[in-house]
Structure 1
Amino acid sequence: MTLTIVLAACGNSNGNNENNDTEGSGDNNTNDEIDLGQTELQIGTDDYVSNLVNTYLAKLLLEEIGYTVEVNQTDVGVQYTGLADGTTDVIVGAWLPYTHASYWEEYQDDLEQISTVTEEVELGLVVPSYMEDINSIEDLRDNKNDIGEQLEWEITGISPGAGQMQLMENEVIPGYDLNDWTLVESSGAAMSASLSDAISNEEPIVVTLWTPHWTFNEFDLKILDDPQNRFGDPDDILSVSRTGFQEDSPAAYQLISQFNITKEDTQNMMFDVQEGMDPEEAAQKFMDDNPDLVEEWLEGIN
């Protein structure tokens, strides 16, 4: 299905449209035609709430301008294979250049980076702030205050396919000689539940965590120092599409290229999900509460 919408150029922001024929008005008041193009879109995400809420926010924005959007929730690897084989059009949760590096290296010839969605997101090992003497990954290695025995030598992780788990296995554990420790596979939700339970009982716990995440709104947490920088410098979250997406759905591509959000705003939506909303409800609430941001994302399109 191919549609065409007529868009007012966004160069003139003073609202004065009475002088369109006067000399010097130039290109600020010209109209451009932009095709919606293919209107049925597939947008991919994993099951981590930070990516889910941003994906549903992008879905609602795309629907606002006339697209029909289906969200495909899979694991990270399937997201990238879907982009590479064309069954997925776009994602807004690519953690690069570090966390998703292995997927990018494998599939980059069939992918296109569009824009930065969120700047400087961090990965790390996290503990509650009441664990006052545990401040560095080196404290785990050195078994400071018998922390290993207290935790039965377990670090609570997330799903095995996640980029952070790969970094733990390939960089953090060997780099810090954490060979006495076991990285326990679970899921994002199970990790959060374990963290909440431990904090409610003021018990020690070490988890793999990242920003943005709702737990930083709810609890007093600290990311352990990483003096060897084994987790790498902070990633950016990027939007990535299959090749040909811009040509096939140009208005969608333009919207995604204008879509960016702060860690704090993402965490607020995540907190709404934790309080009982589903991700799409939380995204709709955010749009309703932030009309100026919505207007910014849709500038020149609607």
Structure 2
Amino acid sequence: MKKFSFIVMLLVIVLTACGNNDDSSTNNENADKGEENLGTKQVQLATDTYVSNIASTYVVKQLLEEVGYRVTVTQTDVGIEFSGLADGSSDASVGLWLPTTHKSYWEEYKDSLDKMSIVTKNVELALTVPSYMEEINSIEDLANNKNNIGEKLDWTITGISPGAGMMKLTKGELMPAYGLDKNWELQSSSGPTMTAALKRAIDQEEPIVVTLWTPHWTFNEFDLKMLKDPKNSYGDPDNIYSVSRKGFKEDSPLAYKIINEFSITKKQVQGIMYDITSGMTNEEAAKKFLENNPDFKEKVLKKAKQ
């Protein structure tokens, strides 16, 4: 009996030692990943339906997962995106366009949000046409119905989702400034529907006017021109910022730092967007970008861990 008890004790000691070794190994592994800075490991990223913002969001998702976070992405209308950040339903976004496009949302929710760093500089909004529409170069050409462009287009500008910042600006600022609100209609749709209409028109070399912005994959695919805006109704070019809910910095410190260090050029975003629209999933396109740009990933993560 004593011998049996001794064997049991010996087994307990061995198993405990093994367990301690496993924990030690895990702790070392976690330390290498900066585990002590993770905080809350579940991170909820928010994005609207702009493919450019989706592209950036999925790159950030993979960067966060690289260091041990569990990340989900919520894609929704821009108004719901910002109200969700403000009420804490989501943690962060990399798609706040300021000072113009998302001004109304920022003014409404800024007391509950933390504006972080610039993600992409000098992004532009413009009514855009195919370059073969040689006589149409300015929004004033639409206002003056040059070459009967109104009749040719059934007085319709093809837009995107109605809650988008650009749609609000187009309807509330640009159209009244040029008198387009008297005859022209801004047709709401979605990003994919708008680009499908653009492709259809170009394939048949027909006229079309769409709401577009940079960065956007269509500038890689088609020969387009942004109409001049002499009244500057869209304002000067925006910068895109990252933004988080209040308290995210304290809850998930390393995630906050990674998002704060994240910046990407218009050209880089357009490449990811092009891959997405060519058939890759959001995850695949982001993964391809990071695999082809190892220095990009290393730079962001290294700065965040300093």
**TM superposition score normalised by structure 1:** 0.89
Alpha-carbon distance, 1:97 to partner:
1.2
Which of these residues, 163, 166, 170, is aligned with residue 164 of structure 1?
166
Structure 2 gap segments, 5+ residues each: 1-26
Quote the offset at 1:297 in angstroms: 1.0
1:257 corresponds to which residue?
260
State the shift of 1:35 in Å. Answer: 1.5
Residue 37 of structure 2 aligns with which residue? Answer: 35
**For the residues of structure 2 that align with 1:300 and 1:261, how far apart are their CA atoms?**
15
Give the structure 2 partner of residue 12 of structure 1: none
Q: Residue 153 of structure 2 aligns with which residue? A: 151
State the 1:280 CA deviation: 1.3
Runs of 4 or more above 2 Å deviation: 3-8
Residues 7 and 300 in structure 1, CA contact (< 8 A), matched pair in contact too: no
How far apart, in 1, do the equivalents of 2:303 and 2:36 lie?
10
In structure 1, runs of 5+ residues without a counterpart are 9-31
- Residue 6 of structure 1 deviates from its aligned partner by 4.5
Which one has a larger percent helix, Structure 1 or Structure 2?
Answer: 2
Other structure's SS at 1:80 match: helix
Q: CA deviation at 1:104?
A: 0.4
1:7–1:301 contact (8 Å) kept in structure 2:
no
- What letter is aligned with 2:229? D
User: What residue in structure 1 maps to residue 194 of structure 2?
Assistant: 191
Letter in 1 for 2:60: A
Q: What letter corresponds to residue 293 of structure 1 in structure 2?
A: F
User: Any conservation in 2 of the 1:120–1:235 contact (CA below 8 Å)?
Assistant: yes
- Cα offset, 1:87, TM superposition: 1.0
Counterpart amino acid of residue 120 in structure 1: N
Q: Does 1:278 align with 2:281?
A: yes
**Corresponding residue for 1:126?**
128
Native 8 Å contact 1:65 1:301 kept in 2 = no
Aligned pairs (5 A) from 1:229-248: 229-248=232-251
Q: How does 1:36-51 map to 2 (within 5 A)?
A: 36-51=38-53
Pairs within 5 Å for 1:1-302:
6=31, 35-178=37-180, 179-301=182-304
The CA deviation at 1:7 is 7.0
Deviations 1:231-290 (A, max 9, x none): 011111110000111111110111111100000010001111111011111001101111
CA–CA distance in structure 2, aligned partners of residues 105 and 35 of structure 1: 32
CA deviation map 1:138-166 (0-9, x unaligned):
00000001100111111001110000000
Deviation of 1:33 (Å)? 8.8
2:166, 2:303 → 1: CA distance? 37
Aligned length: 277
Matched letter for residue 211 of structure 1: T
Percent identity between matched residues is 59
Secondary structure in structure 2 of the residue aligned to 1:130: coil
SS, match of residue 205 in structure 2: coil
Shift of 1:300: 4.2
Deviation (angstroms), 1:57: 0.6
- Cα distance in 1 for partners of 2:96, 2:246 equals 15
Tell me which amino acid in the other structure corresponds to 1:129: S
Give the secondary-structure state (helix, strand or coil) at the position aligned to 2:38.
strand
